[in-house]
Structure 1
Amino acid sequence: MMGMTTAYLKTIFREIWRSKARFFSILLIIFLGVAFYTGIRAAGPDMSQAATSYFHRQRLATNSVQSSLGLTQADTAILNQHRDRFRYQTERYLDVSQRNNNRVVRVAELPTVQRVNRLRVTQGRLPRHANEIVLDTQARVLQPSLKVGRTYRIASTAAVNRQFTRRTFKIVGFVNSPRYLENVSRGVTTVGKGTLDYLAYVRPQTLTGNVPTRLDVQFKNLQNVQPYSARYKRLNRQNTADLKRWLRPRAQQRQHQLQQRATAKLAPLKRQVAAMQGQVPANTPQLVQLTAQLRRAQAKVQAIPRATYVYTDRTDNPGYTEYHENTQRIVALSTVFPLFFIAIAALICLTTMTRMVEELRLQMGTLKGLGYSNAAVGSEFMIYGGLAALLGTALGVVFGVNFFPQFIAQAYGSMYNLPAITVQYLWGDIGVALVIALACTLGIAAIVLRVDLRSLPAQLLQPKAPKAGKTLLLERWTGFWRHLNFNHKITLRNLFRYKQRMLMTVLGIAGCMAMMITGFGLKDSIGDISTKQFNDLWHYDAMVTRSGRETAAQRKALRQSATYRRSLTLSSQKATVTQSGVAEQTVTLGVPRTPDRLNRFVTLRDRQTHQTYRVTTQGAVIDEKLAKLYGVKVGDRLTVKPAGQTARRVKVAAVAENYVNHFIYLSPTYYRQVFGKQPTYNSNLVQFTHDSERAGNDYADGLLRHAGFLNVTLMRTERQTTFKTFDSMNLVVLIFVISAGALALVVLYNLTNINVSERIRELSTIKVLGFYDGEVTLYIFRENLILTGMGIVVGCFLGNWLHTYILQTAETNALMFSPGIHWLSYLYSAVLTVVFSLLVMGLMHRKLKRVNMLDALQSVD
């Protein structure tokens, strides 16, 4: 038996060159499948790695401690006893509601040496002198006029202004803090509207107070542990328990210390009372008054509470948990979508390799007749398929791993303050991709060859009998069948004669169609949020926040502008909703003073039926996403903790449509029932007569000049800043559509090429019978068009399912995508598929025109 020879190897490479279109189509399909699979699979780990490196480099604190009575040197002295376990740093800050720029800013003193939470300078430098300041990069987004070299002024209430040793600074740089990973959110505060806009960092001794506000700790045993991992969580629980144990005695000590200090201040009053008691009768008005004053002061001393220590960790930082959840969503996305993609590639490889083995039966018979071994005969297909698989995988890995993660990270990057990702090759996934690629080529070839290699040379030298025609079910529908012309009857018979090819084509086209629908559908779901939230659900142009209850002067100031149309007075405060297993969510707790008027400003409705809801005494109206996150429905209860209050259980009366952030609306009666106090009506929702940027800004500036007004949030600005981040999601959509489109094109070309190669004798016969070139192409094209149509219909259902799945995995906690797909998206996907089909038929038409009829019709006997 003959083995492989140089001449035989030349034959193999000649076959590759002769059928280069087929070789490159296999290579291209494997390239697309592998690129998509390895690229999307690498995106989540790449993003996680970028965060891990950033946290390590910037020394993000693992824990923070705050005290209701302020932190002292005695607190730090206790921590100093355990310095071998961690590094720490104290921070002093003050939250300021700015009158001059309508922003809530946290002004923090920057330590001389940053031991933890090191700032990352994005422009300029850190402050070196007392008159210098650096701002959070978010400040530049909210106030584009802020630039390096410009003057920054702090202007708030007189009481707040007095807490600064200086209030005018020169901006010397812009920074990002590792504590705040999200671009927009900076956490909650008890000042102004309840949320921080950005942070500012100044030199020490800028604030008059000398007691640190917060103490940040970085435990050394977590330094090289993967954040978010089970081990990290376990060690962190132990570390938090240790911190609490060390500082527990300080709660009472701090209380005694403050009581002693306060008692010492009462000493002159005590002496005065004692001196008078020895000189005047007990009922002297002056003595009675002084005694009462002393009693009141002593009662206040006794009422000084124990210090409450609040312990937080990284999970309480805005964006920290959210970022991890987003990377997990990409990981979830990367388990289904790329496999879906690679499955289509495998399907087409199967068809192509099967066809190749059938096509070369004659050559196999000849080689076996000449004495070549089965291994030598089969090796042609193995080398052919293996080469296409290896080249396709290598090119796919290099392209996919370098391209897709960068694109996806850039899309999410607009939401987070993180440096660029570094590309990493995940050899496990690359191995899986290579195994799938080789299975699609070598595996399929081996299975198909198994039968042919057992056959005798004489059997292989005989062509396979054509597939017998069968009577179709459609033929029994005589009324329909009789009206068809000859060509249409042949088309239908051929379609159902080759069932395997029909199934492969329909599935291939349906898969590509589904991915294009998913891409366009994602664009719809993201784009609809803005319209639905700001046009259909919110009907106010500004939200005004005041320092307390509305005064007559404030009511007058609110209404005096020509821009003002109407307003709704309500209590608005930030609260947190907590439940084990779900990341803590910040919600806006709204209590309208006149609940009946709320629907003029906010539409509360069911998303599907559009049934409207009212705020009643029966319970709260919450948003749909909040209900989903916590798994609650109407009649269930939710634990809500308003800032500075104890947590309470709120009954859910209705679940309303909402897409951005979370809300809970309660009636004044139900609020009193749950929280045991009257709501403070500190906000107004305002509608304008006309909404323009200039009119809104003038209205806000005018209001903020009056006492008691803290903040004016313009919905026009809110819409722009909130949805700027969604623009980058179009990149992800583009990936879906282009990748699916490229695959659709290759799939159609491959299947059509196989169809034509398979039936070249048949096509040559009808050409000899006098059919024109266009009619020969139409002979094939009719079948293709019907199969494309069937693929489009199946793809619509498949696309709808895939879109729903991807939305569920890609949503963030504070966001709900609009679940519907526009009919235009189905149309675009269908039109693109048809265009690809026409393009392929154009290429096939040129090929069919060049067919040598005599060669094709030569007998193989």
Structure 2
Amino acid sequence: MNRTYFKATMREISQSMGKFVSIVLIILLGSLLYVGIRSVGPDLNQTANHYFKQQKLSDVKVSSTMGLTNRDLTSIKQNKQVKTALPIHMVTLQKSRSQIVSVYGYQKQAKLDQLKLVSGKLPTQANQLVLDIKAKENGYHIGDIYRLPKNSNLNRRKFKIVGFVNSPQYVSSTDRGTTNLGNGTVNYFAYVPNSTFKQKVYPTIAVQFKKSSQYAAGTDSYNNYIDKQKTSLKKSLSKRPEQRQTQLQNSAQAKLNKQKAKIKQQEKQLTKIPSGYQTTKTKAAKRKLTTAKAEIKRAEAQIKKIARPTYLYNDRSANPGYQDYFDESHSIAAIAIIFPGFFLFIAILITFTTVSRMVEKNRREIGLMRALGYTKHEIAMKYIVYTLLAGILGAGLGGVLGMLTLPQFVFSLLSNNNLTAFVGVIPWSYLAQTMIAGLVATLGSALIVLTINLREVPTNLMRERAPKAGKRILMERITPLWRRLSFNQKVSYRNLFRYKGRMLMTIVGIAGCTGLILTGFGIQNSVDDLVPTQYEDVQHFQALVTVKKATQRIHAANISGQKSVMAKSITARPTHGTANDTVTLIVPKATANFSQYVTLKSVTTGKKIKLSDQGVVLSEKLATDMNAKRGSLVTLQISGKKVKAKVTGVTKNYAGHWIYTTKSYYHHLTGNSAKATTRLVKTNQTKKAQREKLSRQLLKENGVLNVSFPRYAASALSTGGLGSVVLIMIVMSGALALVVLYNLTNINISERMRELATIKVLGFYDREVTAYVARENVVFTVAGIILGWGIGLFLHQFIMVKAQTGSILFPMTIHYPGYIWSAVITGCFSLFIGVLTHYKLKRIDMLDALAASE
């Protein structure tokens, strides 16, 4: 390209700076959202993965109902895939009525689950401890004296607080797990020197596998690898339950044998005493021996009943907040599959139209250049440079800004976790995709139009294309309606259908932006409605109370109703497959009035489901995970026993995995009676202070072991990150709507300059000229909004299905304010563009616009 032609290209850009900037902005907005939102999921995963590797978070924790010994530790270490196995001392204590603390043994050179110091220092002496950063909520400070309640597992109770820490075992900043003590919720954790413990067995052994670091945490590849290694670990310990049972029985029998030996010795001594010399003491001793023999027989019977211990293998998903974090990340990634792509598609579509119209407008100039002897290549270079600059600037800036800003912004709003150091990755593939998309929209459209135009001879190019002929439209055939329209209205409606391509493109552009805005509001509605829908439409109780005896009733003044049920945590998986879910099994003592506490409604028919003695009712998300439907069989593991249950129904449910059945069918499955030691409690007093007061009242009652309020659980349904993405989507969609409307209106005016100048010459006032154009834009906007609502409904449905993870099923709701706001935002932007259009139309030079084109 010679210097003169290059200057002409720069002049083209400077003279149409508004158009050039609008093209760059559209591509920039599309690229920014596409790269930014698509990067959020991978960046959140990378941040967590970096933190877990840095703190050496264990992969699996092995535990047993009878505790673990050094033989268990040796068996684990002998597994060839195990890199590190660390025995952990731990006990959960009730420090006060309102404080439950999990106390761990601190090992200075611990190779797993290393603490992250927040303030102070780590313990260096036997009388020092560090507390969870969350313990600050209870008023503790560095230097305070901390006293633990008396416990047989500890040889020291008094400590000095030397620091506050975070643990990689607790990803959530609020949730510290559950317990059978107090109100059922652990408030915080503490680490004391390992020497403080005098436990003979280990509650837990933490395990890290050799190749786990090769996989990113939270990914399917990592989860599949861990599942495989858990199976291998179970094989390594397959003989241990029986061995442990034998060991416990032998140990108990050995103690009993010593007692038996003493009794035999005493019997021998008593038999040596002649009957005539037996005293009252001798007779009493004989009675004691008889009683002791009976006790030994009972003890021997008890020894035989010592059960085989159950070994549990909990992976990271059992850690408080771990699965919630990755579920949220996956939900954002699911949104990123469709929303940014559709956003970018709208941007590309509008850009393609803008660039092609720009080239088409310069037909005369292209013809003149051809007549002056410029080659097709030289002519094309002007538009190639123009569109390359716009495409590269828009896609490049947008992609880099999206990568650097949106993921960190979303991460900063995730306040419900202990991960503080953001670690991003460069999304090369997304950057490349958006660059290609940007160039297709700009350079591609220019090349297509140039190829078509450059095939024509210069004389044809130098002539203006003949305007499209007007045609009768459908409205003209409705004579009563057509007669009532003014001349200006008739012209406007004819123009609408005269330029069908322009009409379609404008409506699609507006509809796309409206649909994106509505989708954003819809996602927010679904997220906000999750908890209320679950606990108002499905589960109608406010509290779960665990009692010691199944016959016990609770009598707090503020309780309006209670239902006796058995609530048990079990494992479910399909008969064919590898899926595995932790489920809450609910078995009511009586099915009468159960619907007042839980509404069971069929997913397919919407009718209420009654509990049957023939099978179980599954919650909807669980049924999806299990690939089960009515009539299917699912495998349940109840108290270590595997049983196959028939599905008699699938019920609507939005949070958690639940199975409901009758006590008769439970007995049929397990052979055991259902012990209804849980109460579903109704109360109208649900404010925090009221809940705490009720909890204190209930725990004062004899036999009440636990009180919890599921609806208000700390972080079980964390969706803060999703909400921040929604905010970004709404703002970005609004910005795109503004630029799209401006661009399309600008194209409309520039293409019709002679037409608009003509009607000004004919005597139309400025307001009438504006109305002439604005009337078309109003119709386009209204049509675009209505079509956009349909697009928004589809996008919302698609995204919320993809966003379902773990035990979460989002309600498919969009409230009417979402429709109103999406229309109002689009309408306001259209009005704003209308005002700009008015001032632009006032400045039309009639002489220049009507100058001869030949």
TM-score (norm 1): 0.89
Deviations 1:589-644 (A, max 9, x none): 233334323333444445798644444434444433323332333343433334x4
Cα deviations across residues 794-815 of structure 1 (Å, max 9, x unaligned)?
A: 1111100000111112233232
Matched letter for residue 121 of structure 1:
L
What is the aligned partner in structure 1 of residue 70 from structure 2? 73
The DSSP-based 3-state class of the residue aligned with 1:213 is strand
Structure 2 counterpart of 1:708, from 696, 703, 713: 703
Give 1:179's aligned residue: 169
How many matched pairs? Answer: 841
Structure 1, gaps ≥5 residues long:
none
Match of 1:120 among 116, 121, 124: 116
Q: In the alignment, is residue 627 of structure 1 matched against residue 623 of structure 2?
A: yes
Q: Hey, what's the Cα distance between the residues in 2 that align with 1:15 and 1:768?
A: 29
Query: How far apart, in 2, do the equivalents of 1:724 and 1:226 lie?
Result: 24
2:827 matched residue in structure 1: 834
Residues 746-765 of structure 1, C-alpha deviations (whole Å, 9 max, x = no match): 11111110000000000000
Counterpart contact for 1:621–1:652, Cα < 8 Å:
yes
Does residue 573 in structure 1 map to residue 568 in structure 2? yes
What's the offset of the Cα at 1:189? Answer: 5.5
Partner Cα distance (1:94, 1:699) in 2: 27
SS of corresponding position for 2:199: coil
Q: Which residue of 2 aligns with 1:210?
A: 200
Aligned equivalents of 2:736, 2:613: Cα separation in 1: 57
The equivalent of 1:655 in structure 2 is: 650
Which residue in the other structure is 1:543 paired with? 544
Partners of 1:84 and 1:627 lie apart in 2 by 34
In the alignment, which residue of structure 2 is the partner of 1:94?
91
CA distance in 2, matches of 1:39, 1:504: 27
Query: Could you list the runs of 5+ residues in structure 2 that have no partner in the other structure?
Result: 273-282
Does the 8 A contact of 1:321 with 1:583 survive in 2?
no
Offset, 1:522? 1.3
What CA deviation, in whole Å up to 9, does each residue of 1:26-82 have, x standing for no partner? 000110111111112212221221122122111122333334443223343455667
Give deviations 1:410-463, integer Å, cap 9, x for gaps. Answer: 45x344433333232222221121111111111111110112222222222211
Shift of 1:519: 0.6
In 2, Cα distance between equivalents of 1:351 and 1:342: 14
How far off its partner does 1:841 sit? 1.1
The Cα of 1:135 is off from its aligned counterpart by: 4.1
- RMSD of the TM alignment (CA)? 3.3
1:271-324 C-alpha deviation (Å, 9 max, x unpaired): 345446667789987766555544444455555555654444445545545544
CA distance in 2, matches of 1:829, 1:582: 44
Equivalent residue for 1:595, pick from 581, 591, 602? 591
1:9 corresponds to: 6
Q: Is the 8 A contact 1:534 1:719 kept in 2?
A: no
Task: Tell me which amino acid in the other structure corresponds to 1:27.
Answer: V
- AA at the equivalent of 1:428: S
Secondary structure of the residue aligned to 2:84 is strand
CA drift of 1:240 comes to 4.3
Which is worse superposed, 324-333 or 768-777?
324-333
User: What is the distance in 2 between the residues matched to 1:823 and 1:708?
Assistant: 49
Asked if structure 2 preserves the Cα contact closer than 8 Å seen for 1:385 and 1:442, the reply is: yes
Is this contact kept in 2: 1:99–1:704, CA < 8 A? Answer: no
Q: Out of 767, 777, 780, which is 1:784 matched to?
A: 777
1:855 paired residue number: 848
Corresponding position of 1:433: 434
Residue 67 of structure 2 aligns to a residue whose secondary structure is coil
1:539–1:230 distance in 2 versus 1, CA, 3 Å: closer
Per-residue deviation, 1:376: 1.2
- In structure 2, the residue matched to 1:764 is 757
Offset at residue 364 of structure 1 (A)? 1.6
Say whether the 8 Å CA contact 2:411–2:721 is kept in structure 1. Answer: no
- Identify the residue that residue 738 of structure 2 maps to in structure 1: 745
* Aligned with residue 261 of structure 2, among 251, 271, 275: 271
Code of the aligned partner of 1:481 = W
Write the deviation string for residues 73-132 of structure 1: whole angstroms up to 9, x where unpaired.
Answer: 3343455667996222110222446661165x4332222322111122344443444454
Superposed displacement of residue 14, structure 1: 0.9
Question: Which of 641, 646, 652 is matched with 1:646 structurally?
Answer: 641
Structure 1 residues 472-502: Cα deviation after superposition (integer angstroms, max 9, x where no partner) = 2332333332332211221111111111111
Distance 1:456 1:746 in 2: 36
Match of 1:46 in 2: 43
Whole-Å Cα distance in 1 between the matches of residues 663 and 23 of structure 2? Answer: 68
Shift in alpha-carbon separation, 1:609–1:244, aligned structure 2, 3 A: closer
Answer whether contact 1:16 1:23 (CA < 8 A) is retained: yes
SS of the equivalent of 2:61 reads strand
1:675 corresponding residue in structure 2? 670
Partner of 1:513, secondary structure, is helix
Higher mean C-alpha displacement, 633-642 vs 524-533 = 633-642
- Once residues 185 and 624 of structure 2 are traced to their aligned partners in structure 1, the CA distance between those partners, rounded to angstroms, is 24
* Higher deviation after alignment, 701-710 or 278-287: 278-287
| Pair 1:512–1:148, CA change in 2 (3 A) | farther
Q: Which residue of 2 aligns with 1:344?
A: 346
Output the CA distance in 1 between the equivalents of 2:713 and 2:268.
74
Change (3 A) 1:82 1:481: closer
Q: Is the 8 A contact 2:134 2:188 kept in 1?
A: yes
Matched, 1:424 2:430: no
> By how many angstroms is 1:744 displaced?
0.7
Q: Using the TM superposition, name which of 278-287 and 658-667 deviates more.
A: 278-287
* Other-structure match for 1:463: 464
**1:846 counterpart residue number:** 839
What is the rounded CA distance, in whole Å, between the counterparts of 1:603 and 1:99 in structure 2? 37
CA distance in 1, matches of 2:679, 2:210: 48
Structure-2 change in CA distance of 1:586 and 1:173 (3 Å): farther
Q: Match for 2:407 among 399, 405, 408?
A: 405
Query: Structure 1 residue 111 and structure 2 residue 107: aligned?
Result: yes
Q: Is the 8 A contact 1:193 1:545 kept in 2?
A: no
C-alpha displacement at 1:393, in angstroms? 1.6
Partners of 2:545 and 2:680 within 8 A in 1: yes
State the match for 1:386 in structure 2: 388
CA contact (8 A) 2:332 2:722 kept: no
Deviation at 1:192, TM superposition (A): 6.7
Q: Does 1:201 align with 2:191?
A: yes
3-state SS in 1 of match to 2:641: coil
Kindly indicate whether residue 795 of structure 2 is the aligned counterpart of residue 805 of structure 1: no
Contact 2:45 2:326 in 1 (8 A): yes
Identity of paired residues, percent?
Answer: 39
Deviation string 1:561-599 (CA, Å, 9 cap, x unpaired) is: 4x3444333322323333476764333323333432333
For the 8 Å contact 2:310–2:640, the answer to whether it is kept is: no
Q: Per-residue deviation at 1:692? A: 4.6
The one-letter amino acid of 1:221's match is K
Checking the alignment, whether the CA contact within 8 Å between 2:182 and 2:699 is kept in structure 1 is: no
Counterpart pick for 1:396 among 383, 395, 398: 398
SS of the counterpart of 2:593? helix
Stretch of structure 1 that moved more, 771-780 or 189-198? 189-198
CA contact (8 A) 2:63 2:312 kept: yes
Distance 2:324 2:103 in 1: 25
Larger deviation, residues 574-583 vs 782-791: 574-583
CA distance in 1: counterparts of 2:230 and 2:619, whole angstroms: 33
Structure 1 contact 571–683 (Cα < 8 Å) conserved: yes
> What is the one-letter code of the residue matched to 1:628?
T
Which whole-Å deviations, capped at 9, do the CAs of 1:193-223 have from their partners, x for residues lacking one?
Answer: 7775654332224344221122112223333
Contact 1:102–1:704 (Cα < 8 Å) also in 2 = no
Separation in 2, partners of 1:599, 1:822: 27
Structure 2 match to 1:55: 52
Task: Work out whether residues 496 and 776 of structure 2, in 8 Å CA contact, stay in contact via their aligned partners in 1.
Answer: yes
Aligned to 2:279: none
User: What is the distance in 2 between the residues matched to 1:154 and 1:606?
Assistant: 50
